[in-house]
Structure 1
Amino acid sequence: MTFRSFVKECSEKEVLKMLSIYIVSSWVLLQVLAVTWDPLGLPKISNTYLILILLLGFPFYLYYIWHLKLAKWEKDKAVRISKKGKAKKSGFYKMYFTYMGIISGLCVVASVFIIQNNFGRTLKLPTAISTDKIAILKFGNNTGDDSNNIIGKMTSDWIMHGITQHELGQVVSPEIINDYLGFLSTSEEESDEKKVVTQYFKPAKVIVGNYYLNKDELLFQCSIMDGSYDETFISFEPISCDKSDPLVCIESLKQKILGYLITEVNPSLNLEETPPKFEAYQYFIDAEATFGDNERYIELLNKAIDADPDYFEPKVMRVAYYYNISEFRKADSLKNAIVPNSRDSDRQANLLKTYNALLEGDNRAIYKHTLYEYKFAPFHLLTNAGAMVVTLQYVNKPKEVDTIFRAVSMEGMNLESCTQCKYRIYTQALANIELEKYDEAIKLLRPLTDVVDDLYLQRSLMSAYVRSGKQDELENLLERLKISNSGAYMINAQSYIGKEFLLLKKPSQAQIYYDRVIALATSEENKESLAEAWYALEDYKKAESIYENLHNSSPEDITIMSHLAACYSKNSKDQRAQQLLKKINQARSDYQFGSVDYALAQYYARIDNKALMLKHLMKSIADGNTYTPMTFQNDPHFLKYREDAGFKEILSFWH
């Protein structure tokens, strides 16, 4: 039976009519549910469940049509008998069940795809307690004196501190709300706290309050409302204290709030806590305000600690400061001197464990402790961005980055003024590139790179263009960058593109960009880029002479030594190469996080010694090295080994 005759017979037997009824009815049901799920109080996922039911029900409906309409007609047909004496199936019967099988398979595949996209993309975090979000609004200063604004800041911070320390809920702080107010576009209408809280965070409870002066007394009022501002759960009795010691009021108010919340979660938790001294708190708040001014920032942190040696947070922030500027030994010493307050042991101990893992190069522990902190504040931009970076670059799990990224809505954000937003987009784009989702990376990056001219963002866009074969877009980007950037900037960009083409095994394309680097790198400060270009093009004689000069200028630089050693080996100067390898090995010290072994791995990869390359590369990642756009799978040294089982084991070492 031909397909045309099969369709004709289906039409005659009203099969197509019955299929149309199913399809149209399904469409109407979906349209109705899309409009009514919210008024009916159904979850939004109800639409997905209905689609799955209709998809999986379609094959059964096809069989129902056969059983109801067609089986009798088939039975009444003149039966053909085979040579073996058995009844032969008609051509219509065979074709009907063949297409029914194909359609059933497509329905199952579509259902699996829907299930995977809607239910299979959830990040597996450490088990979290089941709590609701609690928003804390900025306490109103009704004293008439702006110098008292810090009292409101301290009140909300101290309440937030108590809630998170006792794991009573995920807190939306006034600072987070303020961030959103600043980042949201306000061209149409002015954003307000209530709108941001209800639209972006949807908390179960909102804490509101204000304070004012009554002669020499400071009085606090506070209420807890539902997330829609429709119902007041409790209004606390006013709390008063001497105006010179607001911490008495703040501590008393915090205890009342925690006492109310804790009866709903865990009445056995210990409520007692020691607040910092007011002077120390002022120094710490001032330090946060000067973040970025390193000298002033660390000065204020030290003053906060001197004013109150028991104040935990500035001590941890001081460890973070020295870690971020690569003074690892000092950071480790300061970290070891911190003793967590036993009454706040869980979260404080977790922060200390995080920095301990960072300083030990234990990426798996870094990931674990970072996600423990993330579960309390997944919508806090800085915490969210940190979780994304750790997930991608410390443990190489690009598939899990998307779940963290989507925890915070980017709708309406002013990307130019939101540093954390830029880091989040950058990290998400890198994850997409690793997953070969190049168009998604471009869609994320292009609007940002149109307004922000940062090389790290431009380079990731270059990667997406190169790997997706968009050569014209790549050249247009370079032309635009050339207008407003320095020669050094363009040398760096061209070198990076050359590296990307090497990763695609397109050396002729890579040479075009390395030739541009060679033409541009004429000054002394660009000699390292020039050496890298000749090295990438495997002209080891020209690279050797430049690397020798660089080595004389920077005799402790292990990357320069590694590349120079490779040049010596390629130029049959094995004794010199061995001398440099010995010097690299002697450079080992604490807090190097695998950098020495990575340099050795690059050398052995260049001279095709696979066994030693894998050995040193494994040692490098085990000692805390990270997966970046320039290392491991993104390093041309290891291009020929990317499909090797040993290399893949290194990429999944921390899984």
Structure 2
Amino acid sequence: MNFKSFVKECHDKEVFKNLSIYIVSSWVLIQVFSVIYEPFGLPKISMTYLLLVLLVGFPFYVYLLWRYRLKPLESKFSRRKGLKVTSKTAGSKEELKGLKKRKVHLPGVHFYSPFQKLYFTSLFIISLISLFSAALIVKANFINQDNMSAFTFPEEPDNDRIAVLPFENNTTDPNLDVIGKMAVDWIMHGITQNKVGQVISPKVVEDYTKVLKATLVPSGENGVLKEYLKPSKVVTGTYYLKDGRLLLQCSVLDGNMNRTLVSFEITECDADSPLDCIEAVKQRVLGYLDSKGMAQLALEETPPNYKAYKLWLESDALLELQSDEQLSYINEAIAADSSFFKPKIDRVAYYYNRDQFAVADSLLQVLAAETGTKKEQLNMIKHYEACFNGDNRMAYRTYQEEYNVAPVEIELNLSTMVLALQFVNRPQDVDSIYRAIPEDDFDLDNCISCEYRYFVKGMANLELEQLDETIELLEPYARTAGQEWIKEVLMKAYVMDENHTAVYDLLQHIRLLGRIDYWQLMMLKTGLEYLKSGDDSKANQYFDEVLEYQEKRGALLSLAEREIQAELIFYKKDYPEAQNKFEALLPESGDAIAIQSFLAMTYYKNGNQIMAEESLAKLDNLRAKYQFGEVDYALARYYALTDNEHETLDHLTKAVAAGKRFTSTTFQNDVLFQSMKSKEDFQKILTFWY
């Protein structure tokens, strides 16, 4: 039986009609349930369970359809031509042999007709699809959760109500009851003042209990909370005396009071100064309640002091603005709570991101020595140790663990994209990381991280030769006033797309905005892109336009402009003039490695081999800690210019092994390495960290 005949027979036997009944009924059930589950007080996860039941039930329905509707029809062999012979009525060996050919046996199933065989084949395929779909739902809703409690209905109500219960006096001194009342009042005041949630006081619980008792409804403190007030969290505590000292213990429970969410360390103070204990406990409670759900604070062994937490929030906001004031808030947060890990690791990151690697490394060593055994803290320390050691693979791997906790937090998301592209050169990883955050809510004018995410995404697209997607993503920002990182990638895409008019218009727009320093740098980078594509004429047009502008400014050129000028002359192959420019820059420039490298190359091109060798020796003497392969990369550029492929590849390998990053101007994006990009040994360097 062919497929067309099978479909026709299914139609004749009303198979599709019966299947449509299940599908339409399921759809109606889902629609109705989506409306009624909330009024009935069912959790949102109920819808997931319903979908799973309907998916898994579909194959069973298909089988039952066969068992009770189709099988009785199939059993009437007398009505089917060619199926009248059975093992009992077969009169010859030939008839019996023919019967065996018609029967196809599977464990527990006997196919007496082609229709049945195709029906069960379809059932098998439907079962696979249903199970696969159910597996995806389970993975998305349960397997990726932080703990396996996701398989059960949530015990904690989804609200911001926080009940504060009386603190139990275990001192045996009723005169100290006032301490418990003070603790409750202090914590409630802090919750209300800082808008952490809606407070349910012991008085409210007591009033509800009295009312319910008066109406003869069974009640008790726990029952009132669970059945009527339904807080999301419950704060409770106890206090006692030991050797003349007051010890105060506090915990936060879930709304049903059957699971302890956090139990704070015992706070100890002088019995005559109970407010010291109460204030310390309040800070811990507020720190926990306000930071609950912030994935980055999963690093903490104990909830931070609330004052420290607020200071850290200020520092985190300044991180987005790349403000130097961030450091003062970080230091204040650490001073307010010496056990607060996040600002300590943020301080390491602050110096690391500003290339002050020695300071950052020394702070990391101190932090590592005082850190306990918490996995998340050790992982972040291991990450920065890998960064300082130039072990890019380990740096990427350890940060992925941090990213997996909160893929939608923009700083974690951006850092992971940067690590994927620039540390280990895996542009194929960038897209899934980028798409973890919806694009709708970005204000690029006030979000530097958002802009840089576009830059990294665009560069990854170019590495994967996705030109159209890159232009479509970034072109809306071609005429904006800022977004300089985005414009660099857009320029590269236009050059690769041979859209020369768009390139020129983009550069002219940048110049009209008045950012002359940035315009000169972009003109240099544009010329280099044309050199990479083999269009020397176009490259020189951009170089000459900048040089003409700089010539008019004369002695007014800044150090940065003079460095651009020297490079422009070098790439125009005016090596004698380039030598003069770089020699003049060497005493002033802060990048001695780059200047010495250019000098060595100009000396070589000018036929002065002795001076070239001297520059190489000076370059080699510039080696120092935390350079991450900078010197070897500079040497590789020299040997590439001199067509010494063996030395070029050798130094490039050393550079990448020391942690040299894959940026928009290095390795495959460096104009000096274009002749060897397609060679196998060069490709091995690009995949060094795979």
Equivalent AA in structure 1 for residue 467 of structure 2: Y
Aligned-residue offset at 1:626: 0.4
Aligned length: 495
Instruction: State the 1:344 CA deviation.
Output: 5.4
- The answer as to 2:475 corresponding to 1:446 is yes
- Cα–Cα, structure 1 residues 653 and 34, in superposed 2: closer, same or farther, change >3 Å? farther
Residue in structure 2 matched with residue 426 of structure 1 by the alignment: 455
Report matched runs for 1:301-320 at 5 Å.
Answer: 301-320=330-349
Percent of aligned positions that are identical: 31
Aligned match of 1:585:
620
Compute the displacement of 1:555 (Å): 7.9
Q: Does the 8 A contact of 1:284 with 1:300 survive in 2?
A: yes
Give 1:574's match in structure 2, choosing from 609, 612, 615.
609
Structure 1 Cα separation of the partners of residues 596 and 290 of structure 2 = 61
Q: C-alpha displacement at 1:592, in angstroms?
A: 0.4
2:660 is aligned with 1:632: no
1:260-317 Cα shifts (integer Å, max 9, x gaps): 99xxxxxxxxx99545455544543443354457553323333333444333222211
Once the 2 structures are TM-superposed, how far is the Cα of residue 38 of structure 1 from its aligned partner? 6.8
Which whole-Å deviations, capped at 9, do the CAs of 1:43-67 have from their partners, x for residues lacking one? 8xx9xxxxxxxxxxxxxxxxxxxxx
Distance 2:157 2:351 in 1: 32
| 2:374 partner SS | helix
User: What is the match of residue 557 of structure 1?
Assistant: 592
Q: Which residue of the partner structure matches residue 328 of structure 2?
A: 299
Match of 1:287 in 2: 315
Match of 2:677 in 1: 642
| Cα distance in 2 between the residues matched to 1:302 and 1:389 | 27
Aligned with 1:330 (options 359, 363, 375) = 359
Go from structure 1 to structure 2 and tell me whether the alpha carbon gap of 1:324 and 1:519 turns closer, same or farther (over 3 Å shift). Answer: same
**Change in 2 beyond 3 A, CA 1:479/1:146:** farther
Is it true that 1:409 corresponds to 2:409 in the alignment? no
8 Å CA contact 1:491, 1:520 repeated in 2: no
Higher-RCO chain (CA-CA 8 Å, sequence separation at least 6): 1
- Are 2:575 and 2:606, in contact at CA under 8 Å, matched by a contact in 1? yes
Conservation of the 8 A alpha-carbon contact between 2:668 and 2:677:
yes
Q: Secondary structure at the match of 1:521?
A: helix
Q: Which amino acid aligns with 1:248?
A: V
TM superposition shift of 1:653: 0.4
Task: Give deviations 1:340-382, integer Å, cap 9, x for gaps.
Answer: 7776510000111111111111100110111010110011111
Gaps of 5+ in 2: 32-46, 56-131, 165-184, 199-230, 237-249, 265-273, 294-298
Q: Where does residue 378 of structure 1 map in the other structure?
A: 407
Q: Does 1:494 align with 2:494?
A: no
SS at match of 1:445: helix
1:608 to 643, 668, 675: 643
Q: So what's the TM-score if we normalise by structure 2?
A: 0.61
Determine helix, strand or coil for the equivalent of 1:338. helix
Matched, 1:248 2:276: no
AA aligned opposite 1:518: L
Distance 1:477 1:282, change over 3 A: closer
Aligned partners of 2:612 and 2:573: how far apart in 1? 17
Q: Matches of 2:373 and 2:157 in 1, distance apart?
A: 21
Asked if structure 1 preserves the Cα contact closer than 8 Å seen for 2:284 and 2:306, the reply is no
Summarize the Cα distance change of 1:552–1:296 in structure 2 as closer, same or farther, 3 Å threshold: closer
Match of 2:504 in 1: 475
Report matched runs for 1:492-531 at 5 Å.
Answer: 492-522=521-551, 523=553, 524-525=557-558, 526-531=561-566
Instruction: Identify the range of structure 1 (493-502 vs 551-560) with the bigger mean alpha-carbon deviation.
Output: 551-560
8 Å contact from structure 1 (residues 495, 533) kept in 2: yes
> Relative to 1, partners in 2 of residues 1:451 and 1:243: Cα closer, same or farther, differing over 3 Å?
farther
Would the alpha carbon gap of residues 149 and 287 (structure 1) be closer, same or farther in structure 2, given more than 3 Å must change?
A: farther
Pair 607,432 (structure 1): closer, same or farther in 2 beyond 3 Å: same
Give the CA deviation at 1:537: 2.2
Note if contact 1:141-1:149 (Cα within 8 Å) is conserved in structure 2: no
Extract unaligned runs of 5+ from structure 1.
1-13, 47-114, 157-205, 212-219, 226-230, 262-270
Residue type matched to 2:340 in 1?
A: Y
Residue 339 of structure 2 aligns with an amino acid whose one-letter code is D
Q: Compared with structure 1, are the counterparts of its residues 318 and 531 closer, same or farther at alpha carbon in structure 2 (3 Å cutoff)?
A: same
* Residues 94-114 of structure 1 deviation map (CA, whole Å, 9 limit, x = unaligned): xxxxxxxxxxxxxxxxxxxxx
- In structure 2, relative to structure 1, the CA distance for the partners of 1:306 and 1:494 (3 Å cut) is same
Q: In the superposition, relative to structure 1, how do residues 379 and 539 fare at CA in structure 2: closer, same or farther (>3 Å)? A: same
Q: Alpha carbons of 1:137 and 1:221: their partners in 2 closer, same or farther (altered >3 Å)? A: farther
CA-based RMSD: 5.2
**Amino acid in the other structure paired with 1:463:** K
Greater CA radius of gyration, 1 or 2?
Answer: 2
How far residue 243 of structure 1 moved from its aligned partner, in angstroms, is 9.9
SS at match of 2:688: coil
| Distance of aligned partners of 1:154 and 1:232 in 2 relative to their CA distance in 1, 3 Å threshold | closer
The 1:617/1:333 distance shift into structure 2, 3 A limit, reads same
1:462 lines up with 2:495 in the alignment: no
Inter-partner Cα distance in structure 1 for 2:584 and 2:668? 30
Greater shift after overlay, 570-579 or 515-524?
A: 515-524
Cα distance in 1 for residues equivalent to 2:612 and 2:342: 49
Residues 494 and 503, structure 2, Cα contact 8 Å, conserved in 1: yes
Q: In 2, distance between residues paired with 1:401 and 1:450?
A: 26
1:356 paired residue number: 385
Alignment of 1:527-542 (within 5 A): 527-542=562-577
